[in-house]
Amino acid sequence: MRLDKYLADLRSGSRQEVKQKIRKGAVTVDGQLVRDPAFSVRTDSIVTLDGRTLQYREHFYYMLNKPAGVLTATEDPKQETVLDLFPLQLRRDLSPVGRLDKDTVGLLLITDDGALNHRLLSPRSHVDKVYLVRTDLPMTADDAVAFHEGMTLSDETKLLPAELSITEENPHEALVTLREGKYHQIKRMLLARGKEVVYLKRLSMGSLTLDPSLKEGEWRELTEDEIASLRID
């Protein structure tokens, strides 16, 4: 592929920005200084930019600890979105995998890998998602049974069986495991049981678990092991 496309694909800048860097002599290919943006490179070429060796990647994968008050969307004219939390040069073609409500926090996978995005969200995949939930009223064993048996909501929405594991020390707090992602699902399930959700945080999605070192609003790239595990799930 063209050298300028190679660098732009690696989020090293816009096409025009990387062309300028190439012409200024900031790039080498296999040890050779290259000033031609149209120079042909292979994905296994050894490319350096400003002395830093780059490694070509077809896709990018990020773990975000979503904060409250931010929309799970790629763009919005009036409100901040999860992609606004990333530097501008990284945002191209990225999108969130699934969605979290505006007031829900926690794990959100951001990627440009459309095939993985589709597979993780496919109803046939039944990818487990684990949430920490807190409610205004204490939860009970009957609530856990209702979740386990599968619920039908007031609008006739039928839900797959889910798991509600109430914290022994605090009946206002529980872990919920879902195998689907209906609109406001946990909130609607607990509301049907007479409880209001006051806090909701996603902890994991399939094999991917929220990094406890990430503060709300922070993100990091997935490790190779995390990426491989998601592909296997």
Average of per-residue pLDDT across 70-77? 94
Tokens of 40: 């042909």
Closest to 204 in 3D by CA, of 224, 175, 173: 175
Under DSSP, is residue 108 helix (H, G, I), strand (E, B) or coil?
strand
| CATH label of the domain that carries residue 94 | 3.30.70.580
d(CA 163, CA 149): 9
Sign, CA torsion 211/214/218/219: negative
Active site residue 101: yes
| CATH label of the domain that carries residue 38 | 3.10.290.10
Claim to verify: residue 113 and residue 160 sit in the same structural domain = no
Claim to verify: residue 142 and residue 165 sit in the same structural domain = yes
Between 233 and 75, the higher pLDDT residue = 75
d(CA 129, CA 118): 16
Claim to verify: residue 134 and residue 157 sit in the same structural domain = yes
Q: Which domain holds residue 222?
A: 61-123+207-232
Q: Among the options 101, 128, 211, 233, which is catalytic? A: 101
Claim to verify: residue 34 and residue 23 sit in the same structural domain = yes
- What is the tally of structural domains in the chain? 3
Claim to verify: residue 220 and residue 117 sit in the same structural domain = yes
pLDDT, mean over the chain: 94
Claim to verify: residue 105 and residue 213 sit in the same structural domain = yes
pLDDT of residue 233: 60
Claim to verify: residue 201 and residue 133 sit in the same structural domain = yes
Claim to verify: residue 73 and residue 100 sit in the same structural domain = yes
Claim to verify: residue 66 and residue 111 sit in the same structural domain = yes
Q: How confident is the model at residue 58 (pLDDT cuts 50, 70, 90)?
A: confident
pLDDT of residue 232: 65
Other Cβ atoms within 10 Å of 50 Cβ, number:
9
| CATH label of the domain that carries residue 154 | 3.30.70.1560
Average of per-residue pLDDT across 12-38? 95
